[in-house]
Structures are given as structure tokens and as C-alpha cells.
């Protein structure tokens, strides 16, 4: 079974969204983890927009990448440039993937405009996660 780590800066939004969708699409074909190079707690708006798409990430925790140092990952996906640049070395044959998603936590404007940005990024990550599973996690 493949082990996949999603890494971002604070493990609060983008990596949490990606972990939720990767788990959804991969099912029992992969073990999915997420972490940050820092920990900021899971963003309540990330939980909300995932719940709106019938995915429950309310039990997720914000984890530091060092917590997973003993796991031999098959793939590491960085979802922001900061994490990609600061990504630690992982031993073994780890495939690295990178996509710089916008940070919805930095959205400004009315509450509706902020949620729209979260939904936009959620949908981008959903499409990426679906494609990733289809290409890299075989049945």
C-alpha cells in the first residue's frame, strides 16, 4: 500500500483539503498523511468547505513534518512553494510532486468573498487529488 504525505507551510488549509480528498479518492488503496513545516491548527473554514462537499475533516490534526520522520513515504506532495523549498529530505525512493495552490487563509473581503476563495481552492485541490489518485495510486 502506498504511503503519501501532503506537505504545506502550516498544515491548516491546503494540505488538510488535499488529505481529505486523497483519502476520499484513494479509499483503502493508500495511507494518506498531511503535515506542515510549522503547525497552525486546522482552519475552521477548511473544515466548513469540506463539509459542504460531504467530506469530514473535523477530526484532522495539524502535524509537524518531523512527526513522520520514521515513515517510508512513496510520495510527497508539496502544495505551496514555501513547503517545497523547505521540504526535508526523505530517505528511500520517494517521488516528489509539487503544485503551488493559492492560500485561502490569506483571502480578504467580506465573509462571503473569503468563503468563495476557500471553495475555489478546495475545488482546485479536489481536481488535483482526483488526477493524482488516477495516475499514481493503482487499484
- The residues that are catalytic are 8, 80, 87
Place of cell 488535483: 128
Q: What distance lies between CA 21 and its chain's CA centroid?
A: 8
Please say whether the beta carbons of 23 and 5 come within 8 A.
no
Amino acid at each position: 500500500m502506498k504511503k503519501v504525505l501532503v506537505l504545506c507551510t502550516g498544515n491548516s488549509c491546503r494540505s488538510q483539503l488535499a488529505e481529505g480528498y486523497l483519502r476520499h479518492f484513494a479509499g483503502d488503496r493508500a495511507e494518506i498523511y498531511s503535515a506542515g513545516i510549522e503547525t497552525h491548527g486546522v482552519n475552521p473554514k477548511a473544515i466548513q468547505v469540506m463539509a459542504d462537499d460531504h467530506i469530514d475533516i473535523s477530526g484532522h490534526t495539524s502535524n509537524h513534518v518531523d512527526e513522520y520522520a520514521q515513515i517510508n513515504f512513496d510520495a510527497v506532495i508539496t502544495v505551496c512553494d514555501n513547503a517545497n523549498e523547505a521540504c526535508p529530505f526523505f530517505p528511500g525512493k520517494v517521488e516528489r510532486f509539487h503544485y503551488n495552490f493559492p492560500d485561502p487563509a490569506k483571502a480578504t473581503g467580506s465573509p462571503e468573498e473569503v468563503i468563495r476563495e476557500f471553495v475555489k481552492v478546495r475545488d482546485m485541490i479536489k481536481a488535483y487529488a482526483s488526477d493524482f489518485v488516477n495516475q499514481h495510486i493503482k487499484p
